[in-house]
Amino acid sequence: MGVVLLLVLAALPALAQTQAQQDEPPTTEDEITAYCLGVNRQLAERFRQMQLWGCGKASSMQWCRDAKASAPDAMRARERLVIRFANELTRKGLLDVERPPEFRAKLTSIVADGSTDAAQCFNPNGDRDEPACERLQRCEEAEQRVGE
């Protein structure tokens, strides 16, 4: 019985620290991680769609055939990044239901912002939104941090 009591007492500071962390808002690094999760989710979907392109056999469409051929590898690379970003947020407890709703809502909004920026930068009409493309540059360092 005494050993169990000692174990419980030893775990209390860790539990208190976990509760304190849940009450803290996401850090700037956490927000970038959430943003990049959204970006890479959108890019993985774009590469998945590229695999469905009908490129034809004309020599002028070689670029399309090349892009279509490289899409599966690019999609898998983006999916791995999505998993790594989600794992990082999960490991920190930022996606836990116990987190305050306003913090979860903020992260959800940031993920959506990343998806929107990726969609605007790489839209199917070719109308590149340069400010959105500039914001995507924040993910370069974050991708290296979580490993490519």
Quick one: pLDDT at residue 107? 93
Quick one: pLDDT at residue 24? 83
Quick one: pLDDT at residue 19? 47
Quick one: pLDDT at residue 10? 55
Quick one: pLDDT at residue 23? 72
Quick one: pLDDT at residue 18? 47
Quick one: pLDDT at residue 124? 75
Q: Which residues of 105-129 are buried (b: 16+ CB within 10 A; e: fewer)?
A: ebbeebbebbbbbbbbbbeeeeeee
Tens digit of each residue's pLDDT, the chain (148 residues): 444 444 445 555 544 444 445 578 889 999 999 999 999 999 999 999 999 999 989 999 999 999 999 999 999 999 999 999 999 999 999 989 899 999 999 999 999 999 999 999 988 777 889 999 999 999 999 999 887 6
Round to whole Å and give the CA distance between 118 and 113. 9
Q: Are 41 and 81 in contact (CB under 8 A)?
A: no
Closest CA to 120 of 106, 139, 134, 105: 134
Q: Are 40 and 87 in contact (CB under 8 A)?
A: no
Quick one: pLDDT at residue 125? 77
